[in-house]
Structure 1
Amino acid sequence: MTPPAQLPDLTPFIEAGRRDLAALVALESVSAQGRMLPETADAVTVLLEGEGFTVRRFPGQVAPVLLAEAGEGPATLLIYNHYDVQPETPADLWNTPPFVLTERDGRLYGRGASDDKGELVSRLAAVRALRAAHGGHLPLKIKWLIEGEEEVGSPSLAGFVEAHAAELKADGCWWEFGSVSEEGRPLVSLGLKGIVCLELRCAVSDSDLHSSLGAVIDNPLYRLSRAIASLRDDSGRVSIPGFYDAVRAPSAADLRALDSLPDARSPLQQSYGVRGFLGNADAREVNRRSNFEPALNVNGVHGGYGDAGSKTVLPASGFAKIDIRLVPDQDPAEIVRLLRAHLDAQGLSDIEVNELESHEHAARSDVAHPFVQAALAAARESYGAEPIIHPSAGGSGPMHPFVQHLGVACVAIGIGNVGGRVHAPNENIRVEDFARGVRFGAVFMEALSRRALGEKEPGREALG
């Protein structure tokens, strides 16, 4: 058995990573607006090639897709990240410029500091440290897939993964995000929910009308309100017939992980000022719904007059945007069909249902998978604490193609935090979490480099 290499002092690698992060944050790679995407792909390519990766670039519908490869060894690790970010708006709510990495009170602020440039750079810093420990050699094969379309639904990714499945074959995939609890325990996610984004539209005339005509002409905002109110009950349970028919029940291992999760309510209340939870859900129910239940959300309702004072108008039209978070094995297309049938049955056939962006299926990996167990063991070693295991994150992402086309387990472990304000003004990471993320990456990849997954190492717990 090859003994583990002694990792070097990580300080210079962490400092170099922070400089790289500042340079990437300065690139305004907002995919929703098509800003600086080729330039950011160029910058990421330069960073990877500087560490010995061979980088190939492929066109995407919105932004270039990068596929990089380096190293040799008994295990192959696939890493997935993205270089695009959310819009910075509303810019006036930022305390410091959104595209300038700024340190304040032990945190680094900037758009992409966490999602996902910070994650990408922390992993690259870990690669540098591992290479240094092995005399410039990378002792495992790393395949790195980095896209620039994640924040707009990854429209190119599923087809790319399917087309390049042979090239992407690996023992497991280290997913693009993760976080650390306030007390320093790594939060590990083994799945992601799917998502359907829709727009409901209603029109009653070609132009706005005098509100006196409300006695004889229906109001589009009223009809939209009826439609929205029909979609779920007061506890949040979706009212669309057939909506839950395909929901995969959690496994026994999933439920054991659920029972070990801490109470998520207080951090949400402290960080976001949340005033309550649907149905007065207790701690276990909040975690159960977050991990295993689909959800329907109204993102916004628009129409009519909303400025100061009164305007007695009957709006010509209005629209509402919704998203539906899905779990395995719900099919997005079937969910749209069920929604349409439900509205028709409610006498709301005049409500248009328009599909937005790319839909995503849900995915979930088995906690007992050897790759998952290897990641958890590395997390225990590098953080000195028991990981908090979420069978599924509450959010969505393009994990399903990796599970479906590659057959790999996916593990999300990263450098975020509950107060990181991802997608919001003042996005941030804690300086300490960035450093610990670099250490975890080096420990994890070093462990993978020592043997094939599942092989027992004398004196240590088997990875399987």
Structure 2
Amino acid sequence: MTSPDPTRPNLAAHIERGLRDLRDLVALQSVSAQGRHLPETAAFVTRLLEAEGFTVRAYPGEVAPVLVAEAGEGPRTLLIYNHYDVQPEDPVALWESPPFELTERDGRLYGRGASDDKGELASRLAAVRAVRERNGGRLPLRVRWLIEGEEEVGSPSLERFVAEHAEELRADGCWWEFGSIDPGGRPVLFLGLKGVMCVELRCRVAASDLHSSLGAVIDNPLYRLARAVASLRDDGGRVTLPGFHDDVREPSEADRTAIARIPGDGQAVRDTYGVTRPLATGPAYHKRLNLAPVVNVNGWGGGYGGEGSKTVLPAHGFVKLDFRLVQEQDPARVLGLLRAHLDAQGLEDVEIVELEAHQQPARVDAAHPFVRACVAAAWEAHGAEPVVQPSSGGSGPMHPFREVLGVACVAAGIGNVGGRVHAPNENIVREHFEKGVAFGVALLERLARGSSS
């Protein structure tokens, strides 16, 4: 029988306390899109941090308070970014357990925010507690923590906030708010994010709905929106806006090498969600997910959608879109290209309404010392080689951290391919929460020692 490694911390008590924190956090319905329970959740997070020796300052945001916390001392400083807001729970009927009650089934923990982002926050706080305990009640490095409540509505306050509070946020590296563990148990680290631009296209042809017989002489707003949407991409998913790809940077040799090392081709995603029309498989899967821009149709409305038929000519309609952008693409320029393109198609009456705050793409070089420290900590905590993705397919407010603070950002966390983030039955795997705490301990202590490998 192998003797236990005396250098590995016993984290069981910290994990259980972290899960209690997560249960309390999930119970707070901090839905930023609807302005629910945001000050209450900020106050609860403040109390959690203050109990661990953090000094917490709360600043007003456009939607919710922004928290900046600090604790510890030492030559190295780690910045952690998280958010306490969550997506709406709708449609509630599809949840198999109450969305705001953390519920365990078959080794998974279900609840809105269990993964995005309250599970990440709770696991990281558990790691801080463990490191303090192992160091006689003190943190052997400085930890600065920015926790906002507006991420799920585009972080409208954050870019200005980071610029105005740059000195409070300086650090040697930033541990970003998410990450995942693949079906084989390998931790997945992301070195960047795509940008995002969310818009709604609207079209109105009359002051009131009309009898459909008048379709012979009056145009249809849903048809005009269908024309607009169909003109934005081809059948392979490539965006067809003229000029859209002009600023897209060719992948570097390091990008190509990293992508070639990523295992799998998305089969686990296709199996988990029952995908019937994949746009990329094989080697193209990870290249497109990391480095290709895309336009998505998020939702469509207008006219009659009830049972049976209703012969109506709708007066108006709308369609919601998001553009995921890659390095060097500017959302403001893409917005201009979209307007020019619709006008050129004779769709001048299709209105473009900007939704939420646009976010620019951001990346960090894989050779950065902080990236190496995160890779080494992931090896230590998981006992498996990390998968390093040059970019996530998703988006977030990383750009000001890179451009204003100049800090390297690495996303490493506890998500999973079946985590159903933003959907009913959002979940984490209990074992992944435990591994997340272990990774946090390994990263904090490695940085405190000044080691990057």
TM-score range, shorter-chain basis? over 0.9
Alignment-mate amino acid for residue 292 of structure 2? E
Structure-to-structure mapping, 1:52-451, within 5 angstroms: 52-278=53-279, 281-451=280-450
Q: How far is 1:252 from its partner?
A: 1.4
Residues 376-385 or 281-290, more deviating: 281-290
Alignment-mate amino acid for residue 104 of structure 1? R
TM-superposition CA deviations, 1:182-239 (whole Å, max 9, x none): 1210011111111111111111111111111111111111111111111111111111
Q: How far is 1:310 from its partner?
A: 1.6
Q: How far is 1:301 from its partner?
A: 1.6
Query: What is the TM-score with the length of structure 1 in the denominator?
Result: 0.95
C-alpha RMSD of the superposition: 1.2
TM-superposition CA deviations, 1:388-429 (whole Å, max 9, x none): 111100011001110010001110000111011111111111
Query: C-alpha distance in 1, partners of 2:248/2:124?
Result: 34
Query: C-alpha distance in 2, partners of 1:429/1:306?
Result: 35
Alignment-mate amino acid for residue 411 of structure 2? A
* Aligned 8 A contact 2:141 2:448 in 1: yes
* Aligned 8 A contact 1:53 1:69 in 2: yes
Secondary structure of the equivalent of 2:338? helix
TM-superposition CA deviations, 1:9-44 (whole Å, max 9, x none): 100000110111111111111111111101100110
Runs of 4+ deviating beyond 6 Å: none
* Aligned 8 A contact 1:7 1:130 in 2: no
* Aligned 8 A contact 1:91 1:98 in 2: yes
Alignment-mate amino acid for residue 294 of structure 2? A
* Aligned 8 A contact 1:74 1:450 in 2: no
Corresponding residue of 1:459? none
* Aligned 8 A contact 2:265 2:281 in 1: no
Query: C-alpha distance in 2, partners of 1:15/1:117?
Result: 15
Query: C-alpha distance in 2, partners of 1:163/1:255?
Result: 37
Alignment-mate amino acid for residue 352 of structure 1? E
Query: C-alpha distance in 2, partners of 1:282/1:114?
Result: 26
Query: C-alpha distance in 1, partners of 2:433/2:255?
Result: 29
* Aligned 8 A contact 1:383 1:436 in 2: yes
Alignment-mate amino acid for residue 429 of structure 1? I
- Return 5+ residue gaps in structure 2 as ranges: 1-5
Query: C-alpha distance in 1, partners of 2:19/2:308?
Result: 50
Alignment-mate amino acid for residue 433 of structure 1? H
Alignment-mate amino acid for residue 338 of structure 1? L
Corresponding residue of 2:3? none
Query: C-alpha distance in 2, partners of 1:445/1:332?
Result: 35
Corresponding residue of 1:9? 10
Q: How far is 1:7 from its partner?
A: 4.9
Secondary structure of the equivalent of 1:177? coil
Corresponding residue of 1:18? 19
Corresponding residue of 1:458? none
Query: C-alpha distance in 2, partners of 1:16/1:404?
Result: 36
- Identity, % of aligned pairs? 67
Secondary structure of the equivalent of 1:283? coil
TM-superposition CA deviations, 1:147-175 (whole Å, max 9, x none): 00001110001110011111111001000
Query: What is the TM-score with the length of structure 2 in the denominator?
Result: 0.97
Query: C-alpha distance in 2, partners of 1:249/1:289?
Result: 12
Query: C-alpha distance in 2, partners of 1:100/1:212?
Result: 51
Corresponding residue of 1:457? none
Query: C-alpha distance in 2, partners of 1:200/1:237?
Result: 20
